[in-house]
């Protein structure tokens, strides 16, 4: 159980490093796509270094009919 927790923490730390290298923490643009891409990059962790480049696209909610 302890080994699994250590691996999970290391996995997330690597994901945080990958997000920092991509500059996700430097921008002040806080929209759905930016936050989603940052969180997904952190969760994907070490896979970022083997070519995975997760991106989240958010479309605005539909406008109500008039």
DSSP output for 13-51: HHHHHHHHHTTTTT-----HHHHHHHHHHHHHGGGGGGT
Supply the pTM of this predicted model.
Answer: 0.77
* Segment 3-42, tens digit of pLDDT: 999 999 999 999 999 999 988 888 777 788 888 888 999 9
Q: Where are the domains of the chain?
A: 2-50
């Amino acid at each position: 159980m302890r080994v699994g927790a250590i691996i999970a923490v290391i996995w997330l730390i690597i994901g945080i490093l990958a997000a920092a290298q991509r500059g996700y923490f430097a921008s002040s643009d806080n929209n759905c796509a930016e936050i989603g891409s940052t969180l997904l990059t952190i969760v994907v962790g070490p896979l970022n270094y083997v070519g995975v480049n997760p991106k989240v696209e958010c479309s605005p909610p539909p406008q109500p009919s008039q």
